[in-house]
């Protein structure tokens, strides 16, 4: 069983990966859109990587994300974000050998960026690669044996982030990444500040990822009304993303519980859980199972029933495969 520290490392690896990436929505193989910088200074030019980013963070579609990442990998992508995202998918699948391999590839391509004249992004991805390696250590060796090595990796991550900050402390890509990092560490380690993380995220871009991070921050701090404000802003920009709908459902469910099982709020949470599950084939099976489980718990509070939610969750998890249609196999509530 993973400890909370192990889980925080996994979450941090994922969030660093997802938030320090520039979108490369390319019209040709040599033009790209960078959400952090203006068009004359865009640095990301690989279309498949850009399509993968959009599929994952705008649409919440893991199937399409994997397809585009495989396309980029087959073309020998020079972007470390390609391999960082593949590592994140490997973590979801609990494919530890692939996680290790893609973490190494992230480091290799990040160093190439440093050598080719982009030390800011290169150092950012050197941080990501080392963090992914820390996640691999904890996943394979456990917390007791792997914690000291993982903490050493974390110090290396901080060193690379510091190097990037010395290059350009105002870079929006860097600030978004650091905001997520400080946020997640503040929940589990005493030397990070959640208030500092929130202030940093407020200056992050693209805004839909910043809003999503702020919603998570306030949710975890128990400030659910603030969390609801920011998740609604994220949904305005990415209305069809099932992960954001899931986040809103979590926030509403917590609000409903806090307000003596407020049926109106819990009913709205139920609707958002249902919307998040409308296209379960987009999502990893484990995520679908967890959304279904939390929906079941919310329904129990809403109608004062005692459904056995754990077996229902396990039934979904037992379906073979990482992606694929699961709607017809999902047990009825």
Is there a single domain that holds both residue 211 and residue 199? Answer: no
pTM of the predicted model over 0.75: yes
Is there a single domain that holds both residue 176 and residue 214? Answer: no
- CA distance linking residue 64 with residue 187, whole number of Å: 32
Give the pLDDT confidence of 40-92 residue by residue, as tens digits: 666 666 788 878 888 898 899 999 999 999 999 999 999 998 999 999 999 98
Residue 13 has pLDDT above 80, yes or no: no
Note the pLDDT of residue 129: 94
**What is Dmax (Cα atoms) for the chain?**
62
Residue 238 has pLDDT above 90, yes or no: yes
Give the pLDDT confidence of 167-177 residue by residue, as tens digits: 998 887 788 88
Residues 6+ away with beta carbon under 8 Å from 28: 47
- CA distance linking residue 39 with residue 61, whole number of Å: 27
- Rounded to 5 degrees, φ, ψ at 283 are -110, 155
Note the pLDDT of residue 315: 79
Note the pLDDT of residue 178: 82
Q: Structurally, how many domains does the chain consist of?
A: 2
Task: Supply the CATH number for residue 327's domain.
Answer: 1.25.40.10
- CA distance linking residue 181 with residue 197, whole number of Å: 8
Is there a single domain that holds both residue 78 and residue 143? Answer: yes
Is there a single domain that holds both residue 118 and residue 12? Answer: yes
The residue with greater pLDDT, 250 or 180, is 250
| Token pair recorded at residue 299 | 């329904």
Residue 154 has pLDDT above 80, yes or no: yes
Residue 306 has pLDDT above 90, yes or no: no
Residue 194 has pLDDT above 80, yes or no: no
Is there a single domain that holds both residue 213 and residue 185? Answer: no
Percent of the chain with pLDDT over 90: 49
Asked which of 155, 179, 205 is the last residue of a domain, the reply is: 205
Note the pLDDT of residue 294: 95
Is there a single domain that holds both residue 220 and residue 102? Answer: no
Residue 15 has pLDDT above 70, yes or no: no
Is there a single domain that holds both residue 74 and residue 183? Answer: yes
- CA distance linking residue 174 with residue 95, whole number of Å: 29
Q: Assign 202 a pLDDT band (cuts: 50, 70, 90).
A: confident
Is there a single domain that holds both residue 79 and residue 180? Answer: yes
- Rounded to 5 degrees, φ, ψ at 8 are -65, -35
DSSP 163-192: HHHHH-TT-HHHHHHHHHHHHHHHTT-TTS
Asked which of 205, 226, 260 is the last residue of a domain, the reply is: 205
- Domain enclosing residue 16, as ranges: 1-205
Is there a single domain that holds both residue 217 and residue 328? Answer: yes
Is there a single domain that holds both residue 128 and residue 247? Answer: no
Asked which of 148, 170, 205 is the last residue of a domain, the reply is: 205
Is there a single domain that holds both residue 185 and residue 212? Answer: no
- CA distance linking residue 287 with residue 280, whole number of Å: 9
* Local structure of residue 332 (DSSP, 8 states): P
- CA distance linking residue 136 with residue 96, whole number of Å: 7
- CA distance linking residue 253 with residue 259, whole number of Å: 10
Contact (Cβ atoms closer than 8 angstroms) between residue 113 and residue 125: yes
- CA distance linking residue 22 with residue 5, whole number of Å: 28
- CA distance linking residue 329 with residue 315, whole number of Å: 9
Is there a single domain that holds both residue 186 and residue 253? Answer: no
- CA distance linking residue 47 with residue 26, whole number of Å: 5
User: 10 Å Cβ neighbour count for 45?
Assistant: 17
* Local structure of residue 57 (DSSP, 8 states): I
Helices (H), the chain: 4-19, 47-53, 62-74, 80-93, 96-115, 119-167, 172-186, 194-202, 207-220, 224-237, 242-258, 263-276, 285-303, 309-317
- CA distance linking residue 212 with residue 285, whole number of Å: 22
């Amino acid at each position: 069983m993973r400890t909370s520290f192990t889980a925080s490392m996994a979450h941090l690896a994922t969030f660093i990966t997802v938030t320090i990436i520039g979108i490369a929505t390319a019209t040709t193989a040599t033009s790209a859109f960078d959400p952090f910088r203006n068009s004359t200074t865009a640095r990301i030019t690989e279309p498949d990587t850009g399509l993968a980013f959009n599929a994952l963070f705008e649409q919440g579609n893991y199937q399409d994300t994997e397809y585009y990442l495989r396309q980029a990998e087959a073309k020998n992508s020079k972007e470390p974000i390609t391999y960082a995202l593949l590592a994140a998918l490997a973590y979801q699948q609990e494919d530890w050998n692939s996680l290790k391999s893609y973490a190494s590839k992230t480091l290799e391509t990040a160093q190439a960026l440093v050598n080719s004249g982009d030390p800011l992004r290169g150092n950012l991805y050197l941080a990501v690669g080392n963090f992914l390696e820390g996640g691999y250590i904890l996943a394979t060796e456990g917390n007791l044996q792997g914690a000291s090595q993982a903490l050493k990796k974390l110090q290396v991550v901080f060193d690379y982030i510091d190097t990037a900050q010395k290059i350009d402390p105002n870079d929006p890509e860097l600030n978004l990444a650091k905001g997520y990092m400080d946020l997640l560490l503040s929940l589990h380690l005493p030397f990070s500040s959640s208030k500092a993380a929130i202030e940093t995220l407020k200056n992050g871009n693209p805004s839909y990822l910043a809003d999503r991070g702020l919603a998570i921050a306030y949710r975890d701090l128990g400030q659910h009304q603030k969390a609801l404000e920011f998740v609604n802003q994220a949904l305005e920009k990415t209305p069809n993303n099932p992960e954001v709908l899931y986040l809103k459902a979590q926030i509403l469910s917590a609000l409903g519980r806090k307000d003596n099982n407020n049926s109106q709020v819990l009913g709205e949470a139920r609707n958002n859980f249902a919307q998040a599950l409308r296209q379960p084939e987009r999502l990893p099976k484990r995520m679908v199972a967890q959304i279904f489980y939390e929906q079941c718990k919310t329904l129990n509070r809403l109608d004062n029933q005692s459904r056995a939610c754990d077996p229902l969750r396990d039934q979904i998890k037992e379906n073979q495969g990482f992606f694929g249609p699961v709607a017809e196999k999902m047990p009825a509530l």
